[in-house]
Structure 1
Amino acid sequence: MKIKSIFQNITIKRANLFTILFIFLLTMIFVTLLVDEMYKDYERALQQSSLVKSDTFSDSKKLEQNKKKLKALLVKTVLAIMTLSFILFGVFLGFNTLFNKLLQRDTQTFLDFFKKAVDHDEAINPNTIFFQDFKDMVGYANEMVSKINEQKKSLKELNLGLEERVKKKTAALLEINKNLEEEKTFSQDLLNAQKEFLRYTVHETNTPLSVILTSIELYLMKHPKDRQLSKIEAAVKNIFSIYDDLSYLVKKDQIEYKKTVINLNNFLNSRIDFFTEVAEFSKIHFNFISPDEELYIYFNETKLQRVVDNTLTNAIKYTLPGENVYIKLVKVGAYVEFIVSSRSKIIKDTDKVFEAYYREEKSRDGFGLGLGLVKSICEEENIEVSVTSSDKLTTFSYKFKIMGD
């Protein structure tokens, strides 16, 4: 594992050193083996010469001289081989060093090029490279630099264009924002003026309406009721209902509507009596089915009146002439259902009927605010509402929590 790590991080200089050491080692091994073989041949020659029998002193002397000559020849041969080996090694080392220097120079050129490429866009001069393989690489490297330069220029131009466009867009958005702020201020002022107008109108309308109703009641005490007076009374009561809606809308965010104990039977009777004249003028009759027991709820009287009045006026407006409007209170467990049913045209979209300004019959008078107001009150007070409609009967149902259960 350690050897593998060394070779993974090896440099050209280290590789060159390892190569020289390896070749030197091989040369020494080769010389050692060659000298050893020659020495063995020398020993064999001496043994053969010693086996030759000679009785004469001259032959013995001659043999000794031959041994010396042979040994001297061996030493000369060994020295010659070693010298030749070192000369060859030196020549190889010279060529290897030359080529390695050229290789290192070419490699260093590429290393310097890539170091400078981060901040500078200089190309490599092919004439400074020795090896053809590196010259080919120079072509690719210079082409890469050229393309990078083109892309840098394109990006720079694009950035300049984007900056200019961003500035223009920012200026346009600032202008739009300024206009929106002005429009918002104008709208808020207009809304405040509208609220003030409604508040003033509601306040000023109450007195003449009360005077008209009181005058009608005083007149009826002394004179019999006629059709024209019934028309006036019905119209005034309709206006009173609209007035109460507007009054609630104006005040609902400014005052707290406190809850009280309400006898639902008596409350419905009073509201039915109030709208009876309006219903009869439209040739419609109320039929109130009251339970045997008194039912009490803990609710705000103003909010309850808006729910009841708008449901009754809606029934009067859309019930077919000559039909009855059935009003029932039905106890269901811990709840009491306030149900208003009558025969009218089928409501095509019962989900939208409570939306503000929605009217299925555009020819009818009104703004479609009443049932929208009813829905908001029911959502605030967690009143369960349901609407069903068929060719026989249209029913509005409200489920209130009974007090004490």
Structure 2
Amino acid sequence: MKIESFFKNITIKQANIYTMIIIFLFSVVFVSLLVSQIYKDYEQSLVENIIVKNLDTKNVKLVEQKKEILKSILIKTILAIVTLSFILFGIAFGVFKIFNALLQKDTEQFLDFFKNAAHDDRSMDENTLFFQDFKLMVGHINSMLDIIREQKDSLRELNVHLEDRVREKTANLKLINENLVKEKSHKDEILQSQKEFLRYTIHETNTPLSVILTSIELFVMKNQKDRQLSKIEAAAKNIFNIYDDLSYLVKKDQVEYPKAAIEIELFLISRLDFFAEVAELSKVRFEYISDFKGRYIYFNETKLQRIIDNTITNAIKYTLAYEIVHVSLKQEGVFAELSMGSLSKTIKNTDRIFDAYYRENKTQDGFGIGLQLVNSICKEEDVVISLDSSDERTTFTYKFKMMGE
């Protein structure tokens, strides 16, 4: 691991020094081995020469002298070889040093260039380099820098235009927002005026309607009711139902509607009695079936009246002439189930029938808000509402949670 770490962190300069040391050591070892081998060859040759010539002891001294002469010649030869080796090493070292210096110079130029490249857009001059390979690299680098420079200029220009566009858009949005604030304030004033007008109108409508109904009751107590008076009474009750709807819509977000225990059958019968005259004039009649007596639900009376009254008036309005509106009240588990159905035109779009202002039959009078109001109350009070419409009967069903269940 230490050797691997050493080679990962070594510099070119250090690598050159270590390379020269290794070359020098190899040269010394090579020369030493060469000289040693030459000396061994010399001694072996001398011995073989003496044996071959069968020299006697008298000529030993002469042989020794000749050996010394040859030895000196050998030493001179070895010194010449060593000297020549070191000369060749010096020449090679010098050439290596020159090329290494050129390589180091080119490398340092690259290092300086990349060091300053982040802050300097200038290209690199290939004429300052020695090696052709580096010059080719510089050509590719300069091409890359030109592309980067063009992209930076493009981004800078785009950023300038973008800032201008953002400022322009911001100014436009600010102006639009100011106009919206003014329009909202104006609309709020108009809406508030409409609410005040509607509240005042509803309040003022209650008195004459009450007077009309009271007067009809007093007149009937003294005189016999005729058909024209019945029509007046039915129309007044229809107006009263519309008044109650509008009154609830205006007040529902501002008035608390407390709940109380309501005997639902008595309440339902009272509302059927109230609209009996209206049903008779529309040539329909109610048929009420129930075995549900003395049971209570915990509900708000105003909301319950809106559900029942709008269901009754809707049935009277759309039931075919001389048909019966079947009304039933029964227990289904923990629920009091109220059903009201009659023969009428089939409702094709049962999903939209509870939308505000939606009416499938455009020829019928009305605002189209009654069933939407009923639906909103049922959602608020967790009343399960269902609608079934076919060629035989259209039935609205409501399930109210009973008290004590």
Which range, TM-score by smaller chain? over 0.9
1:50 deviates by: 5.6
CA distance in 2: counterparts of 1:295 and 1:171, whole angstroms: 66
| Structure 1 partner of 2:3 | 3
Counterpart AA for 2:318: Y
Equivalent residues of 2:261, 2:297 under 8 A apart: yes
1:37 deviates by: 1.0
1:189-236 CA-partner distances (Å, limit 9, x unpaired): 222222212211111111111111111111111221112211111111
Counterpart AA for 2:203: H
Aligned residues: CA RMSD: 1.6
| Structure 2 partner of 1:102 | 102
Q: Which runs of structure 2 are paired with 1:57-206 in the superposition (5 Å)?
A: 59-206=59-206
1:96-150 CA-partner distances (Å, limit 9, x unpaired): 0000000111111111111111111111222211111111112111111112111
Equivalent residues of 1:291, 1:330 under 8 A apart: yes
| Structure 2 partner of 1:397 | 397
Equivalent residues of 1:287, 1:326 under 8 A apart: yes
Indicate which of 54, 70, 94 corresponds to 2:56: 54
1:333 deviates by: 2.1
| Structure 1 partner of 2:221 | 221
CA distance in 1: counterparts of 2:371 and 2:244, whole angstroms: 14
Q: Secondary structure at the match of 2:361?
A: coil
| Structure 2 partner of 1:257 | 257
Q: Secondary structure at the match of 1:345?
A: coil
1:54 deviates by: 3.1
1:80 deviates by: 1.2
| Structure 2 partner of 1:323 | 323
1:349 aligns with 2:349: yes
Counterpart AA for 2:63: L
Of the structure 1 ranges 84-93 and 35-44, higher mean CA displacement relative to structure 2 is found in 35-44
TM-score, normalised to structure 1, is 0.95
CA distance in 2: counterparts of 1:329 and 1:149, whole angstroms: 84
1:2 deviates by: 3.4
CA distance 1:2–1:55, change in 2 (3 Å): closer
1:297-346 CA-partner distances (Å, limit 9, x unpaired): 12111111100000000001101111111111111122111111111000
CA distance in 2: counterparts of 1:379 and 1:337, whole angstroms: 16
Identity %: 60
Q: Secondary structure at the match of 1:224?
A: coil
1:261 deviates by: 1.5
| Structure 2 partner of 1:366 | 366
CA distance in 2: counterparts of 1:323 and 1:165, whole angstroms: 70
Counterpart AA for 1:327: V
1:161-203 CA-partner distances (Å, limit 9, x unpaired): 1111111111121122222222222222222222212211111
CA distance 1:333–1:49, change in 2 (3 Å): closer
TM-score, normalised to structure 2, is 0.95
Equivalent residues of 1:318, 1:344 under 8 A apart: yes
1:72 deviates by: 1.3
CA distance in 2: counterparts of 1:55 and 1:312, whole angstroms: 159
CA distance in 2: counterparts of 1:260 and 1:126, whole angstroms: 97
1:362 deviates by: 1.4
CA distance in 1: counterparts of 2:206 and 2:292, whole angstroms: 37
Equivalent residues of 1:49, 1:63 under 8 A apart: no
Counterpart AA for 2:268: L
Q: Which runs of structure 2 are paired with 1:268-347 in the superposition (5 Å)?
A: 268-291=268-291, 293-347=293-347
Unaligned runs of 5+ in 1: none
CA distance in 1: counterparts of 2:300 and 2:155, whole angstroms: 69
1:273 deviates by: 1.1
Equivalent residues of 1:258, 1:300 under 8 A apart: yes
Q: Secondary structure at the match of 1:372?
A: helix
1:292 deviates by: 5.8
CA distance in 2: counterparts of 1:267 and 1:177, whole angstroms: 52
CA distance in 1: counterparts of 2:153 and 2:57, whole angstroms: 105
1:46 deviates by: 4.4
Unaligned runs of 5+ in 2: none
| Structure 1 partner of 2:379 | 379
Equivalent residues of 2:292, 2:330 under 8 A apart: no
CA distance in 2: counterparts of 1:188 and 1:233, whole angstroms: 38
CA distance 1:55–1:350, change in 2 (3 Å): closer
1:49 deviates by: 5.8
